[in-house]
């Protein structure tokens, strides 16, 4: 690294830009090499950031508040808070143990009163946890909104249901959502997408990772609303049954009238890749024939095992580093015979 001190600043800046495309480790390391390298690499230090868990999210949000706006230039962000953490997890699990046991009326009522107090405390823990998490996520996305291009986001339901702000990401081109974002969970305080219409968004990957984040809800809430110029849509780990395929056919305009709540997908769509989970539901012959009319639709055979969690991080790293990603390896015609022939 010492040799970089003698490299012209223009070339050194170019090298740093290419190097800072990992989880953020390289950017932090370059800032420790020398004063010269620290200065040159500073605009790229936050270019690519992976955040896993509440503590890293909290730390990055705090860092952005003290970083000049000209240096908050994150282009690639991996944000994972599916794990609610120890305190929230214990609060949720303890609900199962809150059952009165005594047959004595007086003792029984005292136990009921204690249970109600404990339930109230647990609900407050979960509510506070979700509110704080939503505030941090909204703060981060707001601070890097002008530069963010690739986002992989996974939020637990406590955080997702507290998301209130409409988020503007004017340069976003690629979104992977593993928690229903930018939609709200059923019963949340707000309806509709939290992401403002994003004319630059071309690639959307929906991963059905949680029971409340069914991919069908994206059709019912209108993908066209937040991704009006989408060209590539990928849906993973979904249950491939007649209900899902009906939404799919409706979104593609292959059936009339449209299913209740379903809106048409963007007219710009070029490829729709479906990678069902395992096992799957039943598919009628009529649904197969209807969807086979649209050559943009590709069905891949279900994986024998669910993908490892690190698969999503690796895909994000590939995108940040400019390596061929999943989209680049898909060739129309190679997989059409997988499920629907």
Q: What is the DSSP string of 172-221?
A: --EEEESS-TTSPPTT-S--S-SBPP-TT--EEEEE--STT--THHHHHH
Q: Which stretches within the chain are classed as H helix?
A: 9-19, 25-30, 35-41, 54-65, 86-93, 105-143, 157-160, 216-221, 223-226, 242-251, 285-291, 310-321
Contact call for residues 137 and 79 (beta carbons, < 8 A): yes
* The model's pTM: 0.83
State how far the Cα of 99 lies from the Cα of 309, in Å rounded to an integer.
35
Beta carbons within 8 Å of 260's beta carbon, 6+ residues apart: 220
State how far the Cα of 164 lies from the Cα of 186, in Å rounded to an integer.
14
pLDDT of 150 reads 98
pLDDT of 311 reads 87
pLDDT of 249 reads 86
pLDDT of 58 reads 93
pLDDT of 127 reads 84
Q: Please confirm whether the linkage preceding 3 is cis (ω < 30° from 0).
A: no
Contact call for residues 335 and 299 (beta carbons, < 8 A): yes
Beta carbons within 8 Å of 268's beta carbon, 6+ residues apart: 228, 229, 230, 231
Contact call for residues 72 and 144 (beta carbons, < 8 A): yes
Mean pLDDT for back-to-back runs of 10 residues, the chain (341 residues): 70 82 84 82 89 93 94 95 64 50 55 63 80 94 97 89 91 93 70 88 87 70 89 88 82 83 90 78 58 81 66 91 75 44 36
pLDDT of 170 reads 97
State how far the Cα of 129 lies from the Cα of 140, in Å rounded to an integer.
17
State how far the Cα of 313 lies from the Cα of 51, in Å rounded to an integer.
10
The helix/strand/coil state of 80 is strand
State how far the Cα of 155 lies from the Cα of 183, in Å rounded to an integer.
11
Beta carbons within 8 Å of 99's beta carbon, 6+ residues apart: 115
Beta bridge partners of 152: 78, 176
């Amino acid at each position: 690294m010492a040799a970089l001190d003698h490299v012209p600043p223009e070339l050194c800046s170019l090298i740093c830009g290419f190097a800072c495309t990992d989880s953020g480790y390289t950017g932090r390391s370059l800032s420790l090499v020398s004063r010269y390298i620290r200065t040159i690499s500073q605009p790229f230090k936050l270019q690519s950031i992976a955040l896993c868990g509440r503590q890293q999210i909290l730390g990055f949000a705090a860092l952005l508040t003290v970083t000049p706006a000209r240096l908050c230039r994150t282009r690639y962000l991996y944000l994972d808070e599916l794990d609610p953490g120890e305190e929230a997890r214990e609060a949720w699990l303890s609900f199962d143990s809150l059952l009165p046991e005594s047959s004595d009326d007086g003792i029984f009522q005292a136990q009921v009163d204690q249970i109600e107090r404990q339930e109230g405390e647990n609900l407050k823990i979960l509510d506070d946890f979700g509110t704080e998490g939503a505030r941090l996520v909204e703060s981060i996305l707001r601070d890097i909104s002008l530069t963010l291009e690739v986002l992989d986001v996974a939020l637990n339901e406590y955080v997702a249901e507290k998301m209130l702000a409409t988020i503007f990401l004017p340069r976003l081109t690629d979104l992977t959502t593993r928690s229903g974002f930018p939609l709200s969970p059923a019963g949340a305080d707000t309806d509709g997408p939290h992401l403002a219409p994003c004319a630059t968004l071309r690639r959307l990957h929906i991963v059905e990772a949680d029971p409340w984040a069914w991919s069908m809800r994206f059709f019912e809430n209108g993908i066209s609303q937040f991704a009006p110029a989408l060209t590539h849509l990928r849906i993973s780990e979904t249950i491939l049954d007649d209900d899902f395929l009906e939404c799919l056919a409706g979104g593609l305009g292959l059936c009339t009238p449209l299913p209740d709540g379903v809106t048409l997908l963007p007219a710009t769509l070029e490829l729709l890749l479906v990678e069902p989970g395992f096992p799957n539901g039943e598919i009628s012959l009529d649904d197969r024939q209807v969807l086979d009319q649209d050559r943009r639709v590709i069905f891949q055979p279900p994986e024998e095992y669910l993908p490892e969690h690190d698969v999503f991080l690796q895909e994000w790293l590939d995108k940040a580093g400019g390596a061929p990603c999943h989209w680049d390896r898909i060739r129309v015609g190679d997989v059409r015979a997988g499920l629907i022939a």
